[in-house]
Structure 1
Amino acid sequence: MAAILSCHSKFIRPSIPFNGGTRFPVSRNHSSPSSIQCRIQNNKQKGSTFSIKECAISIALTVGLITGVPALELSSNAYAATPVLPDLAVLISGPPIKDPGALLRYALPINNKAIREVQKPLEDITESLKIAGVKALDSTERNLRQASRALKQGKALIVSGLAESKKEHGVELLGKLETGMDELQQIVEDKNRDGISKKQKELLLYVGGVEEDMVDGFPYEVPEEYQSMPLLKGRATVDMKVKVKDNPNLTDCVFRIVLDGYSAPVTSGNFVDLVERHFYDGMEIQRADGFVVQTGDPEGPAEGFIDPSTEKTRTIPLEISVDGEKAPFYGATLEELGLYKAQTKLPFNAFGTMAMARDEFENNSASSQIFWLLKESELTPSNANILDGRYAVFGYIVENEDFLADLKVGDVIESIQVVSGLENLVNPTY
C-alpha cells in the first residue's frame, strides 16, 4: 500500500501503537443528519479542564510527539524526517474552520467581500446553537439579522461580481436566499430549534452556489507538462457507497464528496477519471486505524493504476494550492519551497479531509491510493502539522463524514459515482 509520510504503506504512523495499545483519540459528533441507514453508538466521555497555558503546552508536546517519531517504513530502518516544531503562536492563534462546506466556500477563487459578509454570520449560527437554552435563539437571530442586513446592503456588489454567463442563475439563487432568510426568521420566532440547522444548511448551499457563479471560467493555466492529463477544471460531486462488514453499528452508508478542481485540477481529474473507469468499485478499505481510512491499492504487485494504453503506472505530481497564489505549486512540498507559514487553500481541517497517498521521498509518486483523515484538532493542528503542505488535498466528505471512523479493513466500496460536475473533466482516458 502507498503512504503519507513514509514509503511502505504511503503514510505516517507515529510510534504510538494503534492496535492493542494507546491510540490517537478520535473526537466525533454523530448528530449530523443522514438519509442513509446508519446506526451508531454515541459514547461521551468527560474531559479534564485545562488552563490556557496547560492547553498550549499539551498541544506543543503533542505536535513534537507527532513530528519526531518514526514513520511506518518500507524497510525496518526507514524513518521520517523530523520537521522543526512549529511556532507555538501558530498553534494557539485561533480556532480553525472545520466545516467542510465552509472550507470549500473559502477556497473558491473569488474576491467579493459583500457575499463573504453574508456567508460568515450564517456560518456562525452553528456556534450560536451550542449555547444553552433560549440564548441560542437570541444569538441565532442576531446572526440572521446581520446576514440579512449584509445581503440588503451588498446585493448590488454581489450581482456585479457574478460571471456574465452565470448571472441569471446567480440572481435566482439570491432570490431563494432572501426567501430562505425570511423562512428562517419564522423558524426562530417559532422557537423551532431543530429546524434551524436544516434551514441554515440550505441557505449556505445557496451562498456557495452564488459564489461558484462568480468564477468566470478556469482561473489559470495548468503547467504544460500536465496539460494532457485528466484535469478537473471546476468542481465535481461523487457518492461513495460502502458495504460495511461485521459492524453492528453500521450497515450500508453513502459518503458524499466534493472534489475541488480549482485548487487541485490534476489530482481531482486523475481521481474522477479512475472513478469513471470503475477502478474503485468492489475494492476493500485497506487501512482503518483511527488515524486515517485508506484505499486504492489494486491487487497484484503494482501500487497504483496501470494505464492499459502504456502498461505503466500512471502517476501524478504533488499539487498544493496556497492562499495568495493564483495557481498551485507542483512537485515540491511547502517545506521544500521554504513556505513554512503559508496557508493551504485546502487544509487538513475537517474530519474526512480527502488526500492522495504517496511515497515519502518521492513527491510525484501518487497514483490511485487515497486517504481520509480522521481529524483530531489537538493532534493535527491546522497549518501547523506534518500533513498540510506535504500531501495533496483535493476534496472533503460533506455528508456522513462522521461515519468514516466506523469503517474497518475489509469493508467494501460498492461503487463511486459522479453525481455532478463530470462536464468539468477534460482529457478523460476511460
Structure 2
Amino acid sequence: MADVISCNCYSSLAASKWINPRIPTKGSSFLGTLKSSSWWNRQFLSKCRSQRHVQCQLQNGQKGRSFSLKESALSIVLAAGLITGMPSLDWSPNAYAASPALPDLSVLISGPPIKDPGALLRYAVPINNKAIREVQKPLEDISESLKIAGVKALDSVERNLRQASRSLKQGKTLIISGLAEAKKDHGVELLDKLEVGMEELQQIVEDRNRDAVAPKHKELLQYVGDVEEDMVDGFPYEVPEEYQSMPLLKGRAAVDMKVKVKHNPNLEECVFHIVLDGYNAPVTAGNFVDLVQRHFYDGMEIQRADGFVIQTGDPGGPAEGFIDPSTEKTRTIPLEIMVDGDKAPVYGATLEELGLYKAQTKIPFNAFGTMAMARDEFENNSASSQVFWLLKESELTPSNANILDGRYAVFGYVTENEDFLADLKVGDVVESIQVVSGLDNLVNPSYKIAG
C-alpha cells in the first residue's frame, strides 16, 4: 500500500506550517530523497457524463480554505520545489546550468485551463480536423456562460451557439471529409442530429428557458465527441514491440464502479461512470480493463482517502499488485505518458527525466476525479493494479501546472458523480466494476486465457 508522505514547510516570514504534500504511490518512502537542497532547487526550476443518468442513493439531501492569487502562486512554486517527482537522470553540470535562473511562473498561473472531464476527453481524441474543433470550441464555452446567474447567461449562450452553428454550416463538408470511411454514414447521421439539436437549443434560448439549456447542451457535446471518434480510422500508432503482447485498449471504453459506503450517514452507495482513454494510454487502460474483467477489484475496500486522492487496488498480503496466475509473478506495466503534440506516448521515463520540463500531457490531472496508476516512487515501471482518483487541492495540483503531470500515468476520468468521490472513506467497498462499453477495443485480453 502506498505511503502517505507528509512534509511540513515553514515560511521564513511567518513560521507556521502551511503545506502538507502527499504523493499517490505504492512502496518505499519518498522522504529519503529530501536531503539535497540543490536537488530541491533543480526540481523547483524544472516545472514550476455520458448521456446516461447514474444515481447515488442519499439518505439526506445534503450534499476551504481560500487563497489570494499571490499566496496560491507562492504555495504552488514552493510545493513543486519540495516534492516534484523523481530526480532527473541527467546530473551533469552542463544540464544543471541549462536550467532557467528563475521559475516560469506563467506556467503556473496561465489559463484558464480545461477542467471538465468530458471536454478533456473530446480534445484528447487523436484527430486533426480544424473544422470540427471550430464547432466544438464555442459549444464548450457555453459551460462557462452557464456559470452566470439567472437568464443573463442566455445572451452569452446565444452568441456561442450562433458561432458554433455558423462554423458547422461553413465547415460541414470538411468535417464529413474527415470521417473514417467505415464510419462515414454514422458520422453524417450524427451531424444531422447536431444541426437539429442546435436549432432546438436556439429555440430554448429564445424562450428564455434556462433550465432546459444544460441537458440540451450536454446532448450537443455528446454528438460532437461521437463525430470526432468517427474520424479515427483504426488505432493511430504502433505500441512498442515489448508491450504489444500485453492487454491493450485500442480506443475508448467505459466502466461503472459501484461503491458501497459504510461510514457516511449521507451516502449509502454510488455508481461512478468512468471513461478510459486507450488512445493516449493503451497499455495502462488495457491492463485495468483486463483486471476489471477478472473481477479483481470486486469486493475490494477503498484503501486510502485522505482528501488528496482516493486509492484502491492493493490485493493485501505481501503482493502489492496483481499476481498473474499464468506466471505466478506480479504483472507490472510501464509508465506511459502522452505529450500534447506527439503522435505516440513515451514509455518508462517521466517527462522531467526526458528534459521536457514545460511539456503538457494530452490527458492531464486537470479534472476532479482524474484516474491514474500508483507506482513505486523510484521505479517508473512498477505500476500493477493500484489506481487512484485525484481530489483537487489547489495549492498542490493546479490544473495545467501540477506536480503529478508527466510523473504518473493518467488513463481516464470520472464523468458522472465525480463529486461524490470526496465522500468516500477508507473501508468503503468497491462492490463491482463493470465494462459498459468499448470492451471490443481490448486486445490481448489475458482474462480469457485464464478463463
Match among 49, 71, 79 for residue 65 of structure 1: 79
Partner of 2:334: 317
Match among 41, 45, 55 for residue 62 of structure 2: 41
Find the aligned partners of 1:113 and 1:341 in 2 and give their Cα distance: 25
Matched residue SS, 1:395: strand
> 1:258, 1:395 within 8 Å by CA — same for their partners in 2?
yes
Matches within 5 A, 1:363-402: 363-402=380-419
Match among 149, 154, 179 for residue 162 of structure 1: 179
> 1:234, 1:424 within 8 Å by CA — same for their partners in 2?
yes
Find the aligned partners of 1:338 and 1:46 in 2 and give their Cα distance: 34
- CA shift, 1:46, in A, is 9.0
Matches within 5 A, 1:13-162: 13-15=6-8, 35-38=55-58, 39=60, 41-42=62-63, 47=66, 50=68, 55-65=69-79, 67-68=81-82, 86-162=103-179
Partner of 1:294: 311
> 2:79, 2:396 within 8 Å by CA — same for their partners in 1?
no
Partner of 1:75: none
Task: Provide the TM-score with structure 2 as the length reference.
Answer: 0.83
1:226 aligns with 2:247: no
Find the aligned partners of 1:405 and 1:272 in 2 and give their Cα distance: 24
> 1:24, 1:290 within 8 Å by CA — same for their partners in 2?
no
Find the aligned partners of 1:346 and 1:41 in 2 and give their Cα distance: 32
- CA shift, 1:14, in A, is 4.7
- CA shift, 1:122, in A, is 0.9
Find the aligned partners of 1:228 and 1:142 in 2 and give their Cα distance: 50
- CA shift, 1:187, in A, is 1.4
> 2:252, 2:277 within 8 Å by CA — same for their partners in 1?
yes
Partner of 2:200: 183
Find the aligned partners of 2:220 and 2:347 in 1 and give their Cα distance: 36
Bigger shift: residues 328-337 or 119-128:
119-128
Q: Give the count of matched residue pairs.
A: 394
> 2:8, 2:19 within 8 Å by CA — same for their partners in 1?
no
Find the aligned partners of 1:263 and 1:60 in 2 and give their Cα distance: 32
Partner of 1:255: 272
Find the aligned partners of 1:322 and 1:301 in 2 and give their Cα distance: 35
Find the aligned partners of 1:332 and 1:269 in 2 and give their Cα distance: 19
- CA shift, 1:227, in A, is 0.4
> 2:8, 2:20 within 8 Å by CA — same for their partners in 1?
no
Find the aligned partners of 1:295 and 1:133 in 2 and give their Cα distance: 41
Partner of 2:420: 403
> 1:284, 1:413 within 8 Å by CA — same for their partners in 2?
yes
- CA shift, 1:41, in A, is 2.9
How has the CA–CA distance of structure 1 residues 69 and 161 changed in structure 2, closer, same or farther, with 3 Å as cutoff? closer
Matched residue SS, 1:241: strand
Partner of 1:217: 234
Deviation by residue 1:356-398 (Cα, 9 ceiling, x = unmatched): 0000100000000000000134431234222000000000000
Find the aligned partners of 1:47 and 1:310 in 2 and give their Cα distance: 51
Matches within 5 A, 1:234-253: 234-253=251-270
Find the aligned partners of 1:241 and 1:177 in 2 and give their Cα distance: 32
Match among 268, 275, 287 for residue 292 of structure 2: 275
What is the letter of the counterpart of residue 384 of structure 1? Answer: A
Matched residue SS, 1:419: strand
How has the CA–CA distance of structure 1 residues 383 and 34 changed in structure 2, closer, same or farther, with 3 Å as cutoff? same
Match among 328, 349, 368 for residue 332 of structure 1: 349
- CA shift, 1:22, in A, is 7.7
> 1:63, 1:385 within 8 Å by CA — same for their partners in 2?
no
- CA shift, 1:195, in A, is 1.3
What is the letter of the counterpart of residue 365 of structure 1? Answer: S
Bigger shift: residues 145-154 or 375-384:
375-384
> 1:56, 1:92 within 8 Å by CA — same for their partners in 2?
no
- CA shift, 1:186, in A, is 1.6
Find the aligned partners of 2:274 and 2:123 in 1 and give their Cα distance: 17
> 2:84, 2:403 within 8 Å by CA — same for their partners in 1?
no
What is the letter of the counterpart of residue 194 of structure 2? Answer: L
Partner of 2:213: 196
What is the letter of the counterpart of residue 396 of structure 1? Answer: Y
CA-based RMSD of the aligned residues comes to 2.2
> 1:382, 1:388 within 8 Å by CA — same for their partners in 2?
no
Q: Unaligned regions of 5+ residues in structure 1, if any?
A: 3-8, 26-32, 72-82
Matched residue SS, 2:350: coil
What is the letter of the counterpart of residue 55 of structure 2? Answer: S
> 1:242, 1:414 within 8 Å by CA — same for their partners in 2?
yes
